[in-house]
Amino acid sequence: MHWWFPSNASSVGGQVDSLFYVILYITGAVFVLVEAGLLVFLVRYRRRDGRRATYVEGSTRAEIIWTTIPAVILVSLALFSQPLWSRIKSADTYPPNADHLAVEAKQFEWRVTYPGPDGKLGTDDDFMQKDELHLVVNHDYVIDLTSRDVVHDFFIPAFRIKQDAVPGMLIKVWVRPTVVGTYELACAELCGLGHYRMRAQVVVQTDSDYAAWLRSQGQATSSAPAASPTAQEGTP
């Protein structure tokens, strides 16, 4: 039974997880302290006949303490989160030598455009593959994410990456897979009746496996386009 994070397979996932654990430990400690305090008070100061509550209206010192401490912890958390965030999402900090791919979301499929053998998007040898995203391990990619119809969301849980695909916008998403394997790409924004089956495979391969796949694509594109594994209706 695996009831926790899917194992991480990207360059940023580890840092996202660490930040999650930092917040988990801080909030966990606060949770235990405050709820325990609440329970202790409930037991200790439960109603007993002949005893009166103490008439206390407040304490300025206490107010200052419990305003300052949470404020300091929370603001440092924000400062701590900021660098990782801008590294993941600010397009001007992306690695300049990254490979480019284009992903277009549409109801209810992911259309991935590969640059083909020349490595450039927008040339004649580009080819499109539905619902399959092939990546070379330890390579930087910048994905041009668009949507043809409604708002979708590009979510690869194993990479900890999530980004809405918005019609009318081109959003650049940086990924760097670090572990060879097959993962899932999910749509994480309600996009219509087939939303739940808007799923694609992410295949992270070694350089040579990728090259072999690329060659096979050169042959396949001349014949019929690859069938989408999720093209059929779901259960009912």
Partner 1 sequence: MTAHAEAVAHAAHDDRSFIRKYVFSTDHKTIGIQFLFLSLFFLLVGGLLAMGIRWQLGFPGQAMPLGGWLPQSVAPGGVVAPKTYNSLVTMHGTFMIFFAVMPLLVGVFANYLIPLKIGAPDMAFPRLNMWSFWLMIPSGGLMLASLFVLGGSSAAGWTVYAPLSATPDYSGVHLGQQLWCLSIVIFGLSSLLGSVNYITTVVNLRAPGMTWFRLPLSVWALFITAVLAILAVPILAGAVIMLLFDQTIGTHFFQPDVGGQPLMWQHLFWFFGHPEVYILILPAMGIASDIIANGARKPIFGYSSMVYAMIAIAFLGFVVWGHHMFQSGMNPTLASTFMVSTIVIAVPSAIKVFNWLGTLWRGNIHFTTPMLNALAFVSMFIIGGLSGIFMASTPVDMYIHGTYFIVAHIHYVLFGGSLFAVFAGIYFWYPKMFGRQMSERWGKVHFALTFVFYNLTFFPMHILGIGGEMRRIYDPTVYDFLRPLQPINVFITINAFLLGLSQLVFAANFIGSLFKGEKAERNPWRDTGLEWTTASPPPHGNFAETPHVYHGPYEYSVPGMDDDFLPVTTPPTGRAA
54 binds partner 1 (CB under 8 A): yes
216 binds partner 1 (CB under 8 A): no
61 binds partner 1 (CB under 8 A): no
Angle, helices 13-44/60-89, rounded to nearest 10 degrees: 160
Other CB atoms within a 10 A radius of the CB of residue 172 amount to: 16
The radius of gyration of the chain's CA atoms, rounded to the nearest angstrom, is: 25
Of residues 83 and 119, the one with the C-beta less far from partner 1: 83
176 binds partner 1 (CB under 8 A): no
Q: Which residues contact 217 (CB under 8 A, 6 or more apart)?
A: 114, 127, 129
User: Which stretch in 1-9, 111-119, 133-141, 203-211 sits in contact with partner 1 by CB under 8 A?
Assistant: 1-9
Question: Closest distance between partner 1 and the C-beta of residue 206, in Å?
Answer: 22
Determine the Cα–Cα distance for residues 93 and 86; give it in Å rounded to an integer: 8
Please list every residue from 125 through 144 that binds partner 1, using CB under 8 A.
Answer: none
User: Which stretch in 115-123, 127-135, 182-190, 203-211 sits in contact with partner 1 by CB under 8 A?
Assistant: 182-190
Angle, CA 157 vertex, CA 155 and CA 162 arms, to 5°: 35
Of residues 93 and 123, the one with the C-beta less far from partner 1: 93
Binding mask 66-105 for partner 1 (x = CB under 8 A): xx--xx--xx-xx--xx-xxx-xxx---------------
Of residues 115 and 158, the one with the C-beta less far from partner 1: 158
Please list every residue from 4 through 43 that binds partner 1, using CB under 8 A.
Answer: 4-6, 12, 15-16, 19-20, 23-24, 26-27, 30-31, 34-35, 37-38, 41-42
Determine the Cα–Cα distance for residues 163 and 160; give it in Å rounded to an integer: 10
Q: How far is CA 193 from the centre of its chain?
A: 23
User: Which stretch in 129-137, 178-186, 211-219, 220-228 sits in contact with partner 1 by CB under 8 A?
Assistant: 178-186
Strand 199-205 relative to strand 132-136, pairing? parallel
224 binds partner 1 (CB under 8 A): no
Phi, psi of 68 (to 5 degrees): -70, -50
214 binds partner 1 (CB under 8 A): no
Longest CA span, the chain: 91
Determine the Cα–Cα distance for residues 107 and 111; give it in Å rounded to an integer: 10
Question: Closest distance between partner 1 and the C-beta of residue 68, in Å?
Answer: 9
